[in-house]
Amino acid sequence: MTEMITRPRGTRDLLPDETEARRAVEVVMRKRARAYGYREIITPAFEELGLFTARSGEGIIDEMYTFTDKGGRKMTLRPEITAPVLRCYVNEGRSIPKPIKWFYFADCFRYERPQKGRYRQFWQFGIELIGANSASADAEIIMVADDILHASGISYTLHIGDLSLMRYLLSDLSPAEQKMIRTFLDKRNLEGACDYLRERGHHEKITPLQDLTAARSIDELFAVLPDLPERERILQMFSILDSQGVRYTIDPSIARGLDYYTGMVFEGFAEGLGSENQVIGGGAYRLAHLFGGTDTPSCGFAIGFDRVMVARGDLQPPNRPRIFVITTKETQIQGLSVARKLRDAGICTETDISGKGFAGQMSLAAKVAEFAIIIGTEHAGKETLLIKDLLTGIQEEKPLSAVIDQVKEGR
């Protein structure tokens, strides 16, 4: 026998129960995003490699599905969608009135070590707000994110920071040194960051860094950096969030792995996901100027859709066909006409397509459907239909219109 071919590592086959459950959550997310005036866009599944190395450097290539196409161009499957959306803005969107409010739902590809909640193909639901630069814009992005995550039925904790704090504190360090500190903090390794500061001779930064990462209130933040230039803006953003009842933890240690963030940053963590519990990441950033556009302030986020589904834990009850029409050879055509009328009325209806006898159809219907319409030879040409509730066993004769009403109303 030939060896069975299996799906690639880190990918999944999503069977109908799971797919239907995912579709239902997608609908909720799209609806909430639209309620704030965001509109959906679609970008290509693959892009020129340079789109992602422009900001993050060649190092990121190890984490991507890169390839050379038949024309010798270096390409990659998209590892995320912010850079593609900003490329699209630079190519197509410059004449659109700003701020531009776009959202997307699409798959991303990262060459990672697969585990629960971490896949090589995964889906992101994200938003980008392009051309707005204010505390209100930062606050709106966080409010939409919070709204969508609550509406999708998970409980999670929201952590908000601002990179201007760390940047101000470390402004005497070289860009490479600052990046190293961000990398340590992104891995939640404060010790490593302090050791690094010690090694590089920046002893005076160690205590402020420890105090800053430990700060959990606005007062504690500004006690470390009393004259931060962005102070007013940060205060204003938190006061908007407070006025709207958004619950969050202040977390100045958020560094975000991607290199493009400039100011406000946030992450969200859900329960029951083990180590891969981050369900959302986002913040304010600048990218357009790297792709040939003018420097444009933007902010946004991406939700790890697969992780939201794991955190929900449930699957929707399988969506059973509601009616199975059972016929004999003589009444088959009549059955097809009845099925068509039921489908036209929006009712999911199946008929026998395997040439089963009456008893075979009955037993299949009992396994897969909620109701059976039985058209035996004695019902040939009759106006009324015999409908059987397959859960209760109750059967009644009624006209098609009454059948439709009964099935649409539930039992």
Report the interface residues with ligand HAM, using CB under 6 A: 80, 82, 110, 112, 118-119, 122, 124, 126, 128, 258, 278-283, 285, 300-302, 304, 306-307
Q: Which is nearer to ligand HAM, 282 or 335 (CB)?
A: 282
Closest approach, Cβ 28 to ligand HAM, in A, equals 17
Q: Which is nearer to ligand HAM, 128 or 350 (CB)?
A: 128
Q: Which is nearer to ligand HAM, 109 or 184 (CB)?
A: 109
Q: Which is nearer to ligand HAM, 142 or 212 (CB)?
A: 142
Closest approach, Cβ 380 to ligand HAM, in A, equals 56
Q: Which is nearer to ligand HAM, 212 or 310 (CB)?
A: 310
Structure token digits, residue 368 = 């897969």
Closest approach, Cβ 107 to ligand HAM, in A, equals 10
Report how far apart the first and last C-alpha atoms of the chain are (Å, whole number).
Answer: 49
Closest approach, Cβ 138 to ligand HAM, in A, equals 12
Closest approach, Cβ 191 to ligand HAM, in A, equals 23
Closest approach, Cβ 129 to ligand HAM, in A, equals 9
Closest residue to ligand HAM using C-beta atoms? 304
Q: Which is nearer to ligand HAM, 252 or 283 (CB)?
A: 283
